[in-house]
Amino acid sequence: KAGVTQTPRYLIKTRGQQVTLSCSPISGHRSVSWYQQTPGQGLQFLFEYFSETQRNKGNFPGRFSGRQFSNSRSEMNVSTLELGDSALYLCASSSRTGGSPTYEQYFGPGTRLTVT
């Protein structure tokens, strides 16, 4: 079974621009979560989508948004980029629907975003 894929793997943007990152979950997984990882703040939860609905959201400004399509693929968008948005953005998928005790999420390789 193919793993979680993220595109692009690397991206360089200029401050003020916007960016869209894509994530394809493992086949059959309906939950997709996004995380930001920086040296200073570590791994932080951005949001989770399940069946095209945002179920949970982390403490990030409204410039960070996402969506999920009917095939479970997800995109996240960051508008008006700031230098501090430079980070590794990770996507994770899970088959867990909420009632199962299994807490396993499968992470993709990430998209390395550099804002200059």
Q: Kind and range of the H or E element at 10?
A: strand 10-13
Q: For residue 74, what are the β-bridge partners?
A: 23, 68
* Minimum distance from residue 77 beta carbon to another protein (Å): 20
Q: What is the DSSP letter of 25?
A: P
**Sole residue written with tokens 């996402």:** 66
Binding pattern for the stretch 78-97 against another protein, x by CB under 8 A and - elsewhere? ----------x-xxx-x-x-
Alpha-carbon span 55 to 10, nearest angstrom: 28
Residue with smaller CB distance to another protein, 71 or 100: 100
Please identify which residue in 77, 100, 114, 116 interacts with another protein, judged by CB under 8 A: 100
111 binds another protein (CB under 8 A): no
Contact 13, 19 (CB under 8 A): yes
Residues making contact with another protein (CB under 8 A): 4, 31, 33, 35, 42-45, 48, 50, 55-56, 58, 88, 90-92, 94, 96, 98-110, 112
